[in-house]
Amino acid sequence: MERFWFLTFDGLAAGAVYAAFALALVLIWRAARVVNFAQGAMAVATAYVGYAVVSATGSYWLGLAAAILSGLALGALVERVLMRFAGPGGPLNQVIVALGLVLVIQAVLGMIFGNEYRPAPAPFDTDALTIAGVAALSPYDLWVLGAALTVVALLAVLFTRTPIGLRMRAAAFAPEVSRLLGVSVGRMLTLGWALAAAVGALAGMLVVPTGLGLHSHAMDLVFVIAFTAAVVGGLDSPVGAVVGGLLVGLILSYVTGYLGPDTTPLAVLVLLLAVLLVRPGGLFSAARARHV
Amino acid sequence: MRTTTRRVLAAAAGLALLAALPACADDEKQAAENVPGVSDSEVVIGTHQPLTGPAAPGYSKISAATKAYFEHVNAKGGVHGRKIVYKVMDDGYNPANTENVVRKLVLDDKVFALLGGLGTPTHTNVLEFVKTQKVPDLFVASGSRNWNEPDKYPTTFGWQPDYTVEGKILASYVKREFPGAKVCHFGQNDDFGRDSLVGVEQVLGPVAAKQTYTTTNQQVGPAIGALRAAGCQVVISATIPGFTALAMGQAAGQGFKAQWVVSNVGADYTTLAAQLGDKKVILEGMVADNYLPNVADTANPWIQEFTKIHQKYNAGNPVDGNAIYGYSMAYTFVQAMLAAGPDPTREKLVEAVRKGGFRGPGLVPFRYADGVHAGYGGVRLTKVSNGVQEYFGPAYTTDDGDGAVTEFTEPPTNPPADAVPTA
Amino acid sequence: MTTTPTETAPATASPLRRLLPGAPAGRDPRGSTLLRHLAVAVFAGTLVVLVTNQLAPYQNLQVARVCAFLCVTAGHTVLVGLNGQLSLGHGALMATGAYTVALTQQALDERAVRGWWTLPASLLAGVAVTALGGLVVGLAAARLRGPYLAGVTLAVATLVPAVTTIFTGVFNGEQGLSFPAQTPPAALGAYFQPERWLAWIALAAALLTMLLLANLVRSRFGRSLVVVRDDEVAARLAGIPVARTQVLAFVVSAACAGLGGGVYAMLTATVAPGKFPLDLSLFLLMAIVIGGLGSLAGAVWGAVLLVALQDLPGLLTEHLSLSAGLAQRLEGNLALAVFGLVLIVVMLAAPGGLQGGVRALTARLRGAVRRRPATRRSPDR
């Protein structure tokens, strides 16, 4: 039983990280109806910026702010310079442009910063608090979890309560109609990409200290797992992203702990099939999946 | 339409007949060519390295050092008057790319030999090809025992101590210093981890608990938690640097205090400290092993010579364990080329390595002999104290079978002038 | 994400014909399609054989790899382009074919069963097993759309290392398997270049795949693929069994991937999980989109691109002389950056892929007589 609780906490800590990153994917899906395969690489790029500021100023929070701001800028840039022109070719073209972008970003980061892992200090203690002899969550895990939940709350307010959020949703769901209604669809798309990249940047800053360190490939694995989490939760639902992230984190932890580290990809596939065959639009799909 | 179709068919048939004819002429000529890669002024050799991708951290610096050393040797007149040209090909640690670049090196660039191809899963896949092409495949940069199969792969040679040799020596240290302690094993779920465990259990018997990780899953918490729950007092760890740091970090986070004893592959202090940053204090007390001059020992004559070369030809990179590895391996290659004589052939080079007898920067001799293609036969233990990784105790040698672990008492050699071997 | 907006018009024009500029144009009675495709295949095959006779060993291996990848990309582009089902898992399907061929070849060799027919038999086994795998994935896929299908197939793509490690006894973990290499038949002479023989085998597989797919695309089934992609409701009304068509498309596509994977394994006589990473699956998708989605000629471009991607690293920095520190950072990375940039530029400049670009160009050169409008359906969202 002690083992079970330990694995549960371990899974929640990992899941919080996946949830944060899945949120960024959901955000961009809602804004632009595209899965951004470059999200991981973009987040790494902004994390490099963030940690450069951290080491220059000594303040984690300044670094975090710098990462998020550079995320905003990078997202807007990618949309304005690339995705806008790839868009007419269709979503698959955007996926391919994103994959090309991954190559470019990772290569450029490698050229500038070299191939080594760089330390990514965490702002809070990473030593786990012990509850009844079980190593539970560390203060840092709590910060990650709190940050992810805060972002969800903010997004919920943005998308349901603010005019700009509503316009963004409208622009994504029905671009033609929105245009007729006077919504600047292009601007909404740019905003969507910027916001998503900013959330991605935040997620990147949260993820990197838990892994091997800062490196151009630091988010490769996380991207795959977070994508799974977003799909499990339902790509349209920020709440789904968080639930999906925690669920995937827990399952990976249980499977790794009880069955061994090799079996996790199988477990992920089984989870995906189990969820999607019952609910083809993910756990939190609002309606039956539309046939796109 | 019908007539065009028929015309195309007829033309195609004619072409097909033509195609069958002139196939052979150039092939025969090729078979008669003399020593590939060797001219009066040059010896061209090649390698595959993970310059990009997830295995690039640390390991991508090895070939940079090897290349720098050859530039140094070339500036001093080369080997038997020939300059060494070292072609480094990036394989991103993907075996498909390895197969491809090795074929390019051998078939297209016509290299004389392969030197220091890096990685077990990558290099395993080119063994058959290398054998059929009869290319000397020297000093594979991995401690797998696969390279020591002279009957199957007569031209392939290892260089670093294999993981079983390492495991045996680490375990015998644990047996001596921690009698009766609960000893556990944490390893990569491939040959690296398995060979290491074989060596450890050879000396200690079954370990109290064993856990594995896979490089595509960074969630090592559950494995470390299991070791903690099993009450392990000593953890012998066969991990690559990233996962050494990750595992020791997890252990510290969980309040799990054990003596870590880490394989050389994942224990370079410079690399680990750079990755851990402020958290590098958790490395204090870590025991590991090495077989090359210690980079922290600036008084060591080998380190002094290599640092000179480094500053001249490789200044952009740090002097660390990876660099020393690259220099030392290049040194051994120059020794082998010298032994192969002024008119080297592939056979002569393979024969020269098989004869062995090279002494250089390494603390212990190579095991090369008739029927043995394994590299260094032992290691010496190191320990991190006050942020410095230092040697302690004597060096030990053993084999990968049931041979005893014995002290090696010969003193280390000193480098020749300019650290260029002369004979 | 399932929408496929390129001007895929192969329902009216044979894509294979595009391989051969100046080939006899349209106006063909329906009965001769097979014959015409056959003629083009024989012609293209002969041309490549002639070329391989002039090539050095390594270049022949490149030709062989293009052919192996062509089997995969051709089947993949039919699934994604014509049927609108996105698969990110074709690398795993290749692995299935590759491992089946390796295991079959090993088993036959151990029992000292030899003969010219062993390789075709192994490849056939590879195709069969992979088709079965495709059936399983396809059954799940038929229920899923867009990114959800992408998610499941992405998970499939990451399976290879897990499965090979769990069943180490069969697949030998991450070391993989090796089996006896193919050698040219004695009839070709003692000095016949082995790589040329490999290229010929791969070429035969690629031509067979292209021939079958070209005919399939022009058949009734090929047209139902497109109808199902464009409008499932209309397809149902027209009496096309939507789910069955989708599953069948997956099976066909998987069979091609299995053949390609088997040939790919044969070229080096080894398989290992590391050869089929997630990147491979992503690059396969990239190849068919850049080549021109839904077009078999585009699949040829895609296959060439995949081989170029493997060969590029090292090519660039080899010819630059740089200081050690800088060189170490640029090596590999520079090539990847250039490749990524090229991808992006091609995608922005020619949204229909390379083949779309070629089409537009030839149409313009011909005086744009009956130029197909380049406008695309805006993706239904």
Question: In chain B, what are the domains?
Answer: 42-161+297-376 (3.40.50.2300), 163-290 (3.40.50.2300)
Distance CA C21, CA C18 (A): 6
d(C-alpha B415, C-alpha B410), whole Å: 15
User: Do C313 and B97 lie within an 8 Å CB cutoff?
Assistant: yes
By the CB < 8 Å criterion, does C214 face chain A? no
Whether B68 and C39 lie within 8 Å, measured CB to CB: no
- Which residue among C43, C57, C333 sits closest to B11, beta carbon to beta carbon? C43
Helix axis angle, B163-177 to B191-204, nearest 10°: 40
Choose, out of A33, A85, A92, the residue to mutate when testing the contact with C (most C CBs < 10 Å): A92
**Mean pLDDT lowest for which of A112-116, B35-39, B105-109, C237-241?**
A112-116
Residue C22 has pLDDT above 50, yes or no: no
Out of B19, B30, B190, the one facing C46 most closely (by C-beta) is: B19
Task: Say if CB C260 and CB C303 are below 8 A apart.
Answer: no
- pLDDT-derived band at C260, boundaries 50, 70, 90: very high
- Helix (H) or strand (E) run with residue A75 in it: helix A60-77
Question: What is the pLDDT at residue B379?
Answer: 94
Contact (CB<8Å) C155/A282: no
pLDDT for C20: 38
In a domain, A225, yes or no: no
Domain range spanning residue C98?
A: 16-276
Q: CA-based Rg of chain C, rounded to a whole angstrom?
A: 21
CA-based torsion, A14, A15, A18, A19: positive or negative: negative
Instruction: Tell whether the model's pLDDT for residue B135 goes beyond 80.
Output: yes
Contacts of B146 in chain C (CB under 8 A): 175
Q: Is residue C370's pLDDT more than 70?
A: no
Residue of B217, B227, B272 for testing the chain A interface, max A β-carbons within 10 Å: B217
Predicted pLDDT at B330: 95
Tokens, residue A50: 């963030």
Structural domain includes residue A275: no
Number of H helices, E strands in chain A: 12, 2
The answer to whether position A62 is within a domain reads yes
Q: Looking at the DSSP assignment, which residues form a beta bridge with residue C188?
A: none
Interface test with B, best of A3, A112, A144, A212 (most B CBs within 10 A): A212
Residue A11 maps to a domain: no
Give bridge partners of residue B82 from the DSSP assignment: B79
Closest in A116, A119, A221 to B276, CB measured: A119
Give a yes or no: residue C309 inside a domain.
Answer: no
Number of folded domains that form chain C: 1
Return phi, psi of residue C285, to 5°: -60, -45
Whole-number Å distance between alpha carbons of A122 and B339: 54
Is A97 in contact with C347 (Cβ distance < 8 A)? Answer: yes
Which chain A positions have a beta carbon within 8 Å of C333's beta carbon?
Answer: 106-108, 110-111
Residue A115: its chain B contacts at CB < 8 A?
51-52, 56-57, 60
What is the pLDDT at residue C208? 95
Q: How far apart are CA B170 and CA C57, in angstroms?
A: 47
Q: Indicate the pLDDT class of residue C380, thresholds 50, 70 and 90.
A: very low
Under an 8 Å CB criterion, which residues of B touch A?
51-54, 56-58, 60, 189, 212-214, 216-223, 225-226, 228-229, 242-243, 245-246, 249, 252-256, 271, 274-279
What's the pLDDT score for residue C360?
Answer: 85
Q: Which residues in chain A have their CB less than 8 angstroms from residue B218's CB? A: 210-212, 221
Domain assignment present for C154: yes
Beta strand C177-178 with C270-271: parallel, antiparallel or unpaired?
antiparallel
Mean pLDDT, to the nearest integer, of C229-257?
93
Look at residues B381, B400, B412, B409 and name the one whose alpha carbon lies nearest to residue B176. Answer: B381
- Res C7: pLDDT: 39
pLDDT band at C101 (very low <50, low <70, confident <90, very high): very high
Among B22-36, B112-126, B365-379, which stretch is predicted with the lowest mean pLDDT? B22-36
Pick the residue of C60, C191, C323 with the most B CBs within 10 A to test the interface with B by mutation.
C191
Q: In this structure, is residue A198 part of a structural domain?
A: yes
Find, among B306, B375, B329, B417, the residue nearest to B337 by Cα: B329
Give the nearest chain B residue to C315 (CA atoms): B89
What pLDDT tens digit does each residue of chain A (292 aa) get? 778 888 898 899 889 889 989 999 998 888 888 889 999 999 999 999 999 999 899 899 999 999 999 999 999 999 999 988 887 777 788 888 999 999 999 989 988 888 788 888 888 887 877 777 777 788 888 898 899 889 888 888 888 888 888 888 888 778 888 888 888 888 888 998 999 999 999 999 998 888 888 888 888 888 999 999 999 999 888 889 999 999 999 999 999 888 888 888 899 999 999 999 898 888 887 654 444 4
Given a contact cutoff of 8 angstroms between Cβ atoms, the answer to whether C177 and C259 are in contact is: no
Number of domains in chain A: 1
Q: pLDDT tens for residues C304-316?
A: 989 988 777 656 5
Pair type for strands B183-188 and B209-213: parallel
Using CA atoms, how far residue A114 sits from B125, C315, C357, in Å, is 28, 20, 37
A253-262 residue pLDDT tens: 999 888 888 8
Beta bridge partners of B378: B397
Domain containing A32: what range?
A: 19-218
What pLDDT shows up at residue C13?
42
Residue C327: C-alpha distances to residues A69, B71, B326 (Å): 32, 14, 16
Residue A245 forms part of a structural domain: no
- Asked if residue A75 belongs to a domain, the reply is yes
How far is Cα C178 from Cα B71, in angstroms, rounded to an integer? 37
Name the residue with tokens 């892929």: C353
What does the alpha-carbon distance between residue A32 and residue C310 come to, in Å, rounded to a whole number?
32
Q: How distant, in Å, are the alpha carbons of A191, A239, A252 from that of A149?
A: 22, 9, 21
pLDDT: is B142 or B14 the higher one? B142
pLDDT of residue C316: 55
> What pLDDT does residue B53 have?
76
On whether residue A81 sits in a domain, the answer given is: yes
**Across B348-357, B413-422, C56-65, C328-337, least confident range:** C328-337
